[in-house]
Amino acid sequence: MAYTVPRPKLTLAEKFYLPQVVAGLLITWKHFKNMLLGRTKIIMQYPEEKWDASMPSYYRGAPTLVRDEHGRERCVACQLCEFICPPRAIRIKPGEIPPASKWAKVEKYPEEFDIDMIRCIYCGLCEEVCPEQAIFLRKDYAITGLSRSEMIHNKAKLYELGGVMDGVVNKWNPKK
Amino acid sequence: MVNVQIDGVWMQFPKGTRMIEACTQAGKFIPRYCYHPKLSSPGNCRMCLIEMGMPKMGPDRKPVLGADGKPEIAWIPRPQISCAQDIAEGMGIRTSSPMVEDCRKGVMEFLLINHPLDCPICDQAGECRLQEFSVEYGNAQSRFLDQKVKKPKNVELGPRVTLDAERCVLCSRCIRFMKEVANDDVLGFVDRGSFSTIACHPDRQLDSNYSLNTVDICPVGALTSSDFRFKMRVWFLKETKSIDVNDGLGCNITIGSRENIIYRITPRENNDVNSCWMPDSHRLNFKYLHNERRFLGPQIKTGSSLAPVEWPVAINRAAEQLKKYALTSSLAMIASARMTNEELFLVGRLAKALGIQKFDVLPRVGEADGILIPADRNSNTSGAKLLGLTGERPGARLPEIAEGVRTGAIKALLCFEDATRCGISETDLAKLESIVTMDILPNKTTALASVVLASSGFAEKRGSLININGRLQRLNRAISAPGEARDDWEILRDLIQAVSGSNGIYMIEDVFKQMAEEVSAFAGLSLSKIGDLGVQLLSGDGKAAERLDADQPVAKTPTA
């Protein structure tokens, strides 16, 4: 439907435009002065310098796997992250923990855990869905590689990025 | 018919209907663990509690009628289980009253007291009644503060079944199945109270050939299949309705596959064939489909070894060799009673086009187990008989063919089985001038063949089979054949075309259509009309499936 836009009523000063031009020039002059006095910092030497320190705690970078405080890999290969992952970036091959192991009670672990970082959209659903608090989005955002295969993070790489994370899941404690 | 009031609505059900079944038929699902329509009802899980009432009786012992002319109901003040009682005239049932809902909540809380909550590693997760009913009827949090009871975990009850006693809700379905259906009373409860667990009889194992059915009916993750253990989460599996091809009965099955890999096969309810069960030996016999030695495309003999070629080359080579011996008695054929009707129909056409006189199928006979496995181990003997690929006694002409091969009267063989299993020795087979064979895996015949046509396994093709009782059932495709391997009927169609010209067959539906026109038994049918449960095509003589349910009322409701 046609719609008539009302023309704004301009004051006399606005009709001349000059006050606005002067105001703009003043801002430019302020920046110029600050630059001459060395008060402005407009260049960051990336990647030597990064924003990381000022990133919020909830920043969603690359998904990683973490171990618990006893060194146990938290992931039990339930494959919920593989299911929820919208771009289907996650691939898990489940395996069985041998009965002789210290963590035999957990029974299941991921034999292979691949996240295709070309596919990953950093949505964080994997972290949200994980019932074992095993997958976390850390602050690494510059994931690069020279080939497609290099961009697939395997289990070793994911644990290297993830490190150790304390959590509240203690049902695998043998006494529990 | 019996009048019953369910949630205020009067309905009619046949006499002898269980209350739980009547409610299900009325659209009011009642949660249950121990009740299974094919087994007896011990009523021990208490999940199916409902409020029940009987007609109020006047001084004259006649029901007091209310303002609406229906009997007034005197409600029993305590809840009743609905699984162990048949309906009665004038009975009232409330399936969602506050008391019933409170009961369910309480029962769920009791069942979950000692539950380990290890759903992330439990194979039942996704098809677990504890999960489902906990969401629908349970509490969000546990009030239980004490130590949970420890029970044996990861116990091998038998060669194929693993028990996790902590997850068990003691519904006794597995005990009753082994006793009532498998006729092998090997399971039972031991210990008392909260320490009660399932165990095998001492010195015995759960090693019946029907043991994996206990895994299917286990409503929780207590009994899990050792073969399927930790292989794949069930929610990833694509389920394809198909039938088993390991014997003449053709148990109805569901194939669970993901990305062209089969992970498990489970029985599907069909009260005219296999009830809800199937033998372990059959359900685990699918791994050969993923054998790395599978033929990935057609091969022809060049020099002394087989070399892969393109399909047109192989088909032309096969047709050329067969035509050389066509219309003479030096060409014989061994068909297979494991092929589908469509394939057998095309094989018959090919035999006619080539003027083959000597042909038969390889019979496979084993021992019937009296439950579900019949003596005939070929999946389509009835079809082979109906389509004229064999006589009344399958395999009767095989000695004649073997003799012909031995004496040199037969120079070429068209073979859909391993010929060395048909009484032909390898040395005799090596004397033949030409062997055209179609198979999925290498065997002694393919090693000597001039042309090997790579075909599809049972889960990779469509088609129909007729079981020993004359029931026509349908195979469905769950996964695609590896590499360049093709559907059997396509290969046969191309062969017929190369031998005798075009035949107007483009889809498997066309094959069935032409078969229905030529064979009167199939008249009026099509692949889609067969449906998931099959149709009775011929009057049968065997009674394998009916004997199973002889003393059970046939329930048409889905299995719990």
Q: Give me the total of CB pairs closer than 8 Å, taking one residue from chain A and one from chain B.
A: 39
From B53, B84, B108, give the residue that closes a domain. B108
Packing angle of the helix pair B311-324, B488-500 (nearest 10 deg) = 50
Q: Which residues of A touch B (CB under 8 A)?
A: 76-80, 82-83, 94-96, 99, 105-108, 131-132, 171, 176
> Does B463 fall in a domain?
yes
Residue B160 in contact with residue B284, Cβ under 8 Å? yes
Taking CB atoms and an 8 Å limit, are B120 and A107 in contact across chains? no
Contact assignment for B229 to A80 by CB distance below 8 Å: no
What residues in A contact B121, CB-CB < 8 Å? 76-78, 106-108
Sort out which chain B residues have CB atoms less than 8 A from A96's CB and list them: 229-230
User: For residue B541, what pLDDT is reported?
Assistant: 52
Chain B residues with CB-CB distance to A171 below 8 A: 116-118
DSSP B460-486: S--EEEE-TTSEEEEE---SPPSTT--
pLDDT surpasses 90 at B140: no
B394 confidence band (pLDDT: 50, 70, 90)? very high
B153, closest residue in chain A (CA to CA): A105
Lowest mean pLDDT among A115-119, A140-144, B14-18: A140-144
Pairing of strands B451-454, B463-466: unpaired
What is the Cα gyration radius of chain A?
Answer: 27
Q: What is the mean pLDDT of chain A?
A: 90
Read off the CATH number of the domain in which B16 is found: 3.10.20.740
The answer to whether B121 and A108 are in contact (CB under 8 A) is yes
Question: A74: which chain B residues are within 8 Å (Cβ-Cβ)?
Answer: none
Which residue is listed with tokens 């892969």?
Answer: B308
Residue B452 bridge partners (DSSP): B299, B437
The strand pair at A152-153 and B9-13 is best described as unpaired
Q: Which residue of A lies nearest to B120 if distances are taken between CA atoms?
A: A78
Instruction: For residue B261, tell me if it sits in a domain.
Output: no
Q: DSSP assignment, residue B419?
A: G
* Residue B91, domain extent: 2-108
Query: Could you give the CA distance from residue B118 to residue B319 in angstroms, rounded to a whole number?
Result: 60
Residue-level pLDDT at B544: 35
**Residue with tokens 């259509």, as numbered in its chain:** B513
What mean pLDDT comes out for the span B328-349? 94
Query: Mind telling me how many Å the CA of A169 is from chain B's nearest CA?
Result: 11
Burial class for B279, CB neighbours closer than 10 Å (0-12, 13-18, 19+): buried
Rounded Cα gap, residues B500 and B323, in angstroms: 10
Partner residue facing A96 (CB), from B120, B230, B235: B230
Note the pLDDT of residue A176. Answer: 64
Going by pLDDT thresholds of 50, 70 and 90, the confidence category of residue B499 is very high
Do residue B229 and residue A96 have CB atoms under 8 angstroms apart? Answer: yes
Enumerate the residues of chain A whose CB falls inside 8 A of the CB of residue B119.
Answer: 78, 131
pTM: 0.86
Q: Does pLDDT of B547 surpass 50?
A: no
* Cβ within 8 Å, pair A96-B231: no
Q: Is 70 exceeded by the pLDDT of residue B558?
A: no
Q: Which residues of B touch A94 (CB under 8 A)?
A: 230-232
Q: Taking residues A143-160, what's their average pLDDT? A: 94
Total structural domains within chain B? 2
Tell whether the model's pLDDT for residue B79 goes beyond 70: yes
CB B237 within 8 A of CB B257: yes
**Contact (CB, 8 A) for B390 and B376:** no
The answer to ipTM > 0.85 is: no
CB contact under 8 A, A108 and B231: no
Q: What is the pLDDT of residue B553?
A: 40
B407 in contact with chain A, both atoms CB, cutoff 8 A? no
Q: How far is A54 from chain B (nearest CA, A)?
A: 36
In a domain, B52, yes or no: yes
The answer to the question of residue B342 being in a domain is: yes
If you average pLDDT over residues B463-488, what whole number do you get? 95
Mean pLDDT of B104-121: 92
* Residue B135 distance to chain A (closest CA, Å): 16
Write down the residue that tokens 């035949």 correspond to: B503
In this complex, the residue of B119, B154, B232 whose CB is nearest that of residue A107 is: B154
Nearest residue to B282 (alpha-carbon basis) of B248, B237, B239, B235: B248
Distance of residue B153 Cα from the nearest chain A Cα, in angstroms: 9
Region B542-560: mean pLDDT is 39
* B231 close to A (CB below 8 A): yes
Give A105→chain B minimum CA distance, Å.
9
Is B488 within a domain? yes
Q: Which amino acid would we find at residue B150?
A: K
Chain A CB within 8 Å of residue B258 CB: no
Best A73, A79, A92 member to test B by mutation, with max B CBs in 10 Å, is: A79
Percentage of chain A surpassing pLDDT 70?
A: 98
- Taking 60 as the threshold, does the pLDDT of residue B164 lie above it? yes
Residues in A closer than 8 angstroms to B125, CB to CB, are 78
- Tell which of B64, B93, B108 closes a domain: B108
Residues 6+ apart with CB under 8 A from B130: B111, B112, B115, B167, B169, B219, B220, B221
Q: Which residue of B has its CA nearest to A92?
A: B232
How many CA atoms does the CB half-sphere of B430 hold within 13 Å?
6
Instruction: Please identify among residues 434-473 of chain B the ones whose CB lies closer than 8 Å to any CB of chain A.
Output: none
Domains of chain A (ranges; CATH) run: 57-171 (3.30.70.3270)
Q: Give me the torsion for CA of B509, B513, B514, B516, rounded to 10°.
A: 130
Read off the pLDDT of each residue in B491-496 and give the average, rounded to a whole number: 95
Q: Helix and strand tally (H, E) in chain B?
A: 16, 24
- Residue B352 makes CB contacts below 8 A (sequence gap 6+) with none
Backbone angles phi, psi at B444, to 5 degrees: -65, -30
Which residue, of B93, B108, B123, is where some domain finishes? Answer: B108
Half-sphere exposure of residue B531: CA atoms within 13 angstroms, side-chain side = 8
Q: Which residues of A touch B118 (CB under 8 A)?
A: 171
| Nearest chain A residue (CA) to B124 | A78
Interface test with B, best of A107, A126, A171, A175 (most B CBs within 10 A): A107
Quick one: which of B168, B164, B163, B154 has its CA closest to B186? B163
CB-CB under 8 Å, B125 with A76: no
Q: Is residue B136 part of a domain?
A: no
Q: How far apart are CA B407 and CA B405, in angstroms?
A: 6
Assigned domain for B228 exists? no
Report the C-alpha gap between B367 and B400 in whole angstroms. Answer: 26
Report if residue B551 sits inside a domain. Answer: no
Asked if the Cβ–Cβ distance from B121 to A108 is below 8 Å, we say yes
Cross-chain Cβ contact B154/A171 below 8 Å = no
**CA distances to A36, B69, B101, B124 from B136, in Å:** 70, 36, 10, 18
Cβ contact, residue pair B120, A76, below 8 Å: yes
Confidence of residue B552 (pLDDT cuts 50, 70, 90): very low
